[in-house]
């Protein structure tokens, strides 16, 4: 769940991106995992969905390397693009500003960070 004001716009990285509305000092929490908003799916769960939704999840969700799950953000955070030197890094259950971010800077993540070591998303609760 995004914690700061953002807007979507054209991204030279991948067409659509998420941009800061205001300056965010390094270390500012920008996003937090909120299970009532953000959805964590196991691969078996995804396989049970209709193909059209599987394709949607594959395109919009963040794979969690070495955890056999995928994270689908329930807000515009799903449009945060990949960048090798990102503006956001995982810290606990949050993504925080990795640098001082200026208004209108694109918010980016390194999708290849091993989230099992740096990102402590709690597993989905059994029903």
pLDDT tens digits, one per residue of 68-79 = 678 888 999 999
Higher pLDDT, 20 or 95: 20
Mean pLDDT of the chain: 85
Q: Is 101 exposed, middle or buried (0-12, 13-18, 19+ CB in 10 A)?
A: buried
CATH number of 6-118: 2.170.270.10
Contact by Cβ (8 Å): 13, 47: no
């Amino acid at each position: 769940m995004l914690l700061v004001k953002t807007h979507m716009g054209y991204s030279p990285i991948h067409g659509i991106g998420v941009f800061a509305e205001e300056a965010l000092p390094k270390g500012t929490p920008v996003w937090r995992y909120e299970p009532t908003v953000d959805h964590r799916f196991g691969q078996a769960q995804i396989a049970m969905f209709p193909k059209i939704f599987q394709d949607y999840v594959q395109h919009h969700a963040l794979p969690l390397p070495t955890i056999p799950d995928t994270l689908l953000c329930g807000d515009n955070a799903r449009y945060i693009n990949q960048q090798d030197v990102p503006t956001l890094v995982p810290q606990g259950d949050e993504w925080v500003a990795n640098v001082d971010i200026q208004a209108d800077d694109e918010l980016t993540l390194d999708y290849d960070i091993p989230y099992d070591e740096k990102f402590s998303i709690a597993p989905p609760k059994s029903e």
